[in-house]
Every structure is written in structure tokens, then in C-alpha cells.
Amino acid sequence: MSDVPHYNMFIDGQWVEGSSVWGVKEPSTGETCATVAYGGVSYTDRAIEAATRAHTEGVWRKKTPAERADVLDRIHQILSAKVEDLAHLVASENGATVRCATAFHVGVALGSLKYFADQTRVYEFRKANEPTQLPLPAQGYIHRDPVGVVGAILPFNFPLVLGIWKIGPALAAGNTIVVKPDENTPQTLLEFAKAAEEAGLPPGVFNVVLGDGEAVGGRLAEHPGIRKIAFTGSTEVGKIVMRGAASNVKKVTLELGGKGPSIILDDANLDLAVRGSLFAFLMYNGQVCESGTRTFVPRALYDDVVQLMVEATKTLKIGDPHDPDTDFGPIIDQEAVDRIQQMVAHAVEQGATVAYRGALDLDEKFRGGTWVAPVILSNVTNEMDIARNEAFGPVGVVIPYDTVEEAIEMANDSEYGLAAGVWGGDEERAIDVASQLEAGTVWVNDWHMFPLTGPFGGFKQSGLGRELGAHAFDEYTEEKYIHVAANQDLQQRAYGLLFGHS
């Protein structure tokens, strides 16, 4: 493993060795593509202590918003010069195709960082209220102060994007932060640490700790020194994080699982709707929390849509994620492969039909990797396990409906509510259907698009709070009200209620 890059953890402005070394596997081949220092609770505590000290000293929070924005801009500039290298890191450790990595994993991440830098200059950290006369003349001021030390726990699938969606507003608001990447995909966050160091971010303000999720993530969730936890991952683990955070009542943002419904209306452009619905559940090999994995189709169009989906999926090229011509890559690890295959098998046992299962005709180099070809299941009902639980892989189910009201009812019949989509020719009608769907994001004739001005988050068990949008910084600040009496006249005070006899 001497010919692969090695990364240490980044704590208090220093690159720190761990108690052991973790090998990062390339999903497409099964080979080690990097090694990283691996820590645990003691390293997490060390990072929290550094972040706490930096916050207390005020080396970052006392800078003006413009000064903080300038540092974020410098980080953005440094990373923007490395787009191609970052995309190939993603293709290696994530298994995303290099096209997907460039556009989404890296492109969206850097666009988001620039957006947060720009927002730092215009966000109202201080705002004067209108003077009031009741109960007595006074002037009020609303301050939005940094919460303190933020803990960020990230999943494997979009580490840089989802990392920046937390790091950006946290740093912009003047907080310090400890980041825990997924052990399978840490490299882009460590590259961010290099850029932060080069850009002049003060020691202790930004820290990266690597290690087991239960140990490092659990410690971040429960540690009393962490005043805000931001987590993206499964609903099951999100509940554990929430319980840990409850022990000392810290602020929490949770972006959790999904089982997105994609409703094709009877007046939809079928070319657009079919390819869009496939993109909805196959982008990044199906490993996206807001994927559209349930496609609802009018019964009269059902057979035609299934066939069109099958024919379009057959054209996808599966193979080397580093090849720009590749459309579809591997799954993150063998545990995920086993889970996906078991869920498909169980769906068939419950009565589903495999309308299509892609073939894996791979070069010998990739036969040690972890692969699942795209699967389309027909004859699925909304009550089947495959329609209710998140496979987190390239599995889409197609469900018929008789009325739009029935489609909406089935779409909302889920404990998840992260994202949904509607495909239709009549835009007003499609928007009306979208307005009835219980999801934090609803696309009309599109999917996986994230304008940075739009808030992102889930209904129901898909999470708490929102990322992106004009109010993203609200999640990383505490609102303080400062009341200033209009004068110093003792007679114009409520003190008389207490000292009425004098």
C-alpha cells in the first residue's frame, strides 16, 4: 500500500496520526486507493477541545462577516483549481462516474461554497427592530450569534457536497467545527482541510476526525461541548444521533432517508418523463437519499412506460467510473450489494416481476469490485417492502394507478418525505399535484436539481431542519434579542409594580 496516498487527521491546525490505519477501498476494483489515520473517542475529544478553545478565544467569530467570506472565497479558489483531481478522487473512493463526480459531487459542492461565501456578506447577523412604545418606549435589536462548536457527521455518498452544506454556513456564521467523514470516502474532506489550511483558516476552527461511526459520531452527538450537530445518513442512525443530542439539548439538523415518489401524469411528455424517472433512481448508481424510487404510472400507460424504461436502461454503459463514456458505476461495498440483492429477491417473493435486470459484463480488472446492475420491478404494490423501505441502490419500482387522487394518496403513504416529483404537460395541473405531496422538495418535470436558493430537507422521518436557501445560516446561529430602554427616566419604568410604596 506504499504506492497509494496517505492522509492524517486534521486537528487544531495539525496533521495528526491515529491509533491505526484504515484502507480506503476502490469499489470498482476492491483495491486500496488510499490509507488514512484512524482515531476514536480520544481524538474526537482532542478536536472538540481545540474547537472550543478557538471559539472561546474568538479568533474566528470576532472577524467581520466580510473577512470570513474572504477566507471561504480563498478555499473555493484553491479547490476550483483541482476540479479534475477531485473528480477522480470521487470516482476512486465513491465509485461515481467521472461525469457524475465532476457535475454533482464536485461541481455542486464548489458552487455551494461560493454561494455561502456570498451569503455571508448579505446575511443579517444584526438587525434593528422598529422602535416600540409598548409596554414602554424602547429600541430592540436582533443578533444572530454563532452557536459555538458544531459537529458534522457525513455519509459516504456525497461527502464534499453534504460536507460543504454544513461547513459553509457553520464557518460563515462564526462557529468552529469538527467533521466526521464516512470512513469509506474521506479524501475530499481531507483535501478541503488542506485548502482551509492554505487559505489561512485559524487553527482549531476546522477539524477532521476519522474513525468508526459509532465511536466518533456517537461522541460528537453526545458531547456537551458540541452545541449543534448536523447529520446526513439513514433514518435509523439519525434517531441514534438525536437521542445522543437530547442528553444535553443541542441544536440538531437531520437529513435522513427517503423513498421518493415520481408521478407520471397522463399528459406527460413520455420521453422526458421516462428518462427523467430513470435518472431519478439511477443517478450515482442509485445511492442518493432523495432518489425517486417509486414511479407511479396511469394504468392505461403502464405497459408502455415499463417497456420504454427497460429499453432506455439497456443503453447504459456499465464499467470503469474513470472512463468519461461510462454511465453507471459500482456500489459502495459488499454489505450494500448483499442488502440490495436480498431486497430484490424478497420483492419477487412478494409478487413483483423483474422487468429488467442489467448484465454485468465487466473487464477482469473490475471483477473484484462491488457491483449491482440496474433493476426495474413491475407488478409492485405500494404495500410491498420494496416500495416502503430504502434500498439505496439502483432499484426502481413501477406502480400503476387509476386516478390522480389515488397516486397522491399512495405517494404520501410513507414514513419518508424527503423528495418527490411530478411529470406533466399542463404545468398548473402538475404544480397542483406537487402542492399535495408530503415532501421537502418536489420537482416538476425534473429531478436531482438543487438551486442553492431553495431550502432542502425532509418531512416526517426524512429529517429535521433545512440546508441551503436564504435561511441556511439560521440553523447555525442562536437568535438573541437586545432590548434598549428609550431613556433613563425612572418614572418610565415598570419598577413601580415592585416599589409602589416608595
Phi, psi of 309 (to 5 degrees): -65, -45
Secondary structure (H, E, C), 160-185:
HHHHHHHHHHHHHCCCEEEEECCCCC
Query: Strand ranges (DSSP E) for 278-411?
Result: 294-298, 353-357, 375-378, 395-401
The answer to whether 275 touches 314, Cβ cutoff 8 Å, is no
Owner of C-alpha cell 445560516: 473
Catalytic residue (one of 100, 191, 289, 467): 289
For this structure, is 255 an active site residue?
Answer: yes
Nearest to 193 by CA among 164, 213, 158: 164
Q: Which residues contact 100 (CB under 8 A, 6 or more apart)?
A: 283, 284, 329
| Residue of 191, 222, 255, 467 marked catalytic | 255
Is 292 within 8 Å of 273 (Cβ atoms)? no
d(CA 427, CA 425): 6
Q: Is 398 exposed, middle or buried (0-12, 13-18, 19+ CB in 10 A)?
A: buried
Strand segments (E) across 388-488: 395-401, 416-417, 419-423, 441-444, 459-460, 463-464, 477-485
Cis peptide upstream of residue 321 (ω within 30 degrees of 0): no
- As given in the structure block, the three cell numbers for residue 234 are 439513514
- DSSP track, 20-45: EEEEEE-TTT--EEEEEEEB-HHHHH
Cα 474 to chain centroid distance, Å, stands at 17
CA distance 298 to 306: 11
| SS3 per-residue string spanning 299-330 | HHHHHHHHHHHHHHHHCCCECCCCCCCCCECC
State the greatest distance between any 2 C-alpha atoms of the chain, in Å, as a whole number: 94
Q: Which three cell numbers stand for residue 419?
A: 423528495
Query: 275: buried, middle or exposed (CB in 10 Å: 19+, 13-18, 0-12)?
Result: middle
Q: 3-state class of 92 per DSSP?
A: helix
Catalytic residues: 255, 289
